[in-house]
């Protein structure tokens, strides 16, 4: 298969949630620019605006408004893809919100809203797509085409002090991605997660202004969208169960967690005293502040720095 065919999405159908603005909009347009038809989801009329942009690119789109935390919306989105365009090939779970607060200030609503939009929203659409692809695979008598691209965050391995809800939701999304990749692989489906950074309305106060490479903002969501559209293509068929950090001019493949140290009871059964004798001295020799948080990921941030 030539590179052009391997990266062509003509005849494919994608669903993108939270696609009325920001990263989701950029992802929907990137997929459409490669030939895909797109079901554009958001909670308001902005979804219709993005459909018009897709049509201006010469592709096809349909808007489906609704809150991704409504479990039934997953079925509606899959039905819209199949009814409007005849297939479902790509799912991009993007919709999200933030409700940042220190844990001692966090309300039940802060927690529930973030978990519902991020984790439940990802699960609802992934589940509906899985039902469709499983049935399609049985009907075809073999594997079918399917891509799931989930949106996690570096927060899941950093655990920011004011983002207990967000970090927990994103960690759950990574676990959901791995389970999806294992459960659907035999049907030909891949599932991967991205941890993006992009300048959008939700993050406008986080990133400083900047341009790079011909005037394209170093934090432009289009940069992330290019990688998402790659993961959606036939070229990415062997990429499954992976987590990528994506922003600026780079993509980083995350390594799986490893066992740092194994502690073994001397006579087969630990006592509290033996834990104190083994675990405390080992932990005390670690670099100050080192724990499970992947602080080293911060070193990736060289956005805008030329070699």
Please identify which of the residues 37, 69, 126, 166 carries the catalytic annotation: 166
Note if 285 is an active site residue: no
Q: Annotated catalytic, 170? A: yes
39: its two tokens = 């079901």
Surface-to-core class of residue 202, CB atoms within 10 Å of its CB (0-12 exposed, 13-18 middle, 19+ buried): middle
d(CA 192, CA 211): 29
In the DSSP assignment, the letter for residue 187 is G
Q: What is the DSSP letter of 255?
A: P
Instruction: Answer positive or negative: Cα dihedral of 64, 67, 71, 74.
Output: positive
Assess contact for 5 and 29: CB atoms under 8 A. no
- 37, 69, 126, 153: the catalytic one is 153
- Contact present, 36 and 59 (Cβ < 8 Å): yes
Tell me whether residue 153 is one of the annotated catalytic residues. yes
Cα 40 from Cα 80, distance rounded (Å): 10
Task: Give me the catalytic one of 170, 187, 229, 247.
Answer: 170
Core vs surface per residue 221-248: b (16+ CB within 10 A) or e: bebbbbbbbbbbbeebeebbbbbbbbbb
Residues 6+ apart with CB under 8 A from 248: 197, 212, 218, 219, 223, 302, 303, 304
Enzyme catalytic residues: 153, 166, 170
């Amino acid at each position: 298969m030539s590179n052009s065919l391997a990266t062509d999405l003509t005849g494919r159908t994608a669903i993108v949630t939270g696609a009325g603005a920001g990263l989701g909009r950029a992802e929907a347009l990137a997929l459409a620019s490669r030939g895909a038809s797109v079901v554009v989801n958001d909670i308001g009329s902005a979804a219709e605006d993005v459909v018009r942009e897709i049509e201006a690119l010469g592709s096809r789109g349909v808007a489906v408004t609704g809150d991704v935390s409504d479990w039934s919306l997953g079925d509606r989105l899959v039905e819209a893809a199949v009814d409007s365009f005849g297939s479902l090939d790509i799912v991009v779970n993007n919709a999200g919100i933030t409700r940042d607060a220190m844990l001692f200030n966090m309300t039940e609503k802060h927690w529930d809203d973030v978990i519902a939009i991020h984790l439940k929203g990802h699960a609802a659409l992934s589940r509906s797509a899985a039902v469709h692809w499983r049935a399609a695979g049985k009907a075809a008598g073999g594997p079918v085409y399917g891509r799931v691209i989930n949106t996690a965050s570096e927060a899941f391995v950093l655990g920011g002090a004011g983002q207990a809800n967000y970090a927990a939701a994103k960690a759950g999304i990574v676990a959901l991605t791995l389970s999806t990749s294992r459960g659907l692989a035999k049907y030909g489906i891949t599932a991967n997660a991205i941890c993006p950074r992009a300048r959008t309305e939700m993050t406008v106060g986080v990133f400083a202004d900047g341009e790079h490479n011909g005037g394209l903002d170093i934090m432009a969501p289009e940069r992330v969208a290019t990688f998402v559209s790659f993961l959606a293509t036939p070229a990415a068929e062997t990429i499954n169960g992976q987590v990528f950090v994506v922003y600026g001019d780079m993509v980083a493949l995350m390594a799986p967690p490893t066992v740092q140290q194994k502690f073994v009871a001397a006579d087969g059964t630990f006592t509290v005293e033996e834990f104190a004798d083994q675990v405390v001295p080992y932990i005390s020799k670690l670099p100050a502040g080192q724990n499970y948080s992947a602080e080293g990921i911060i070193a990736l941030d060289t956005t805008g720095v030329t070699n």
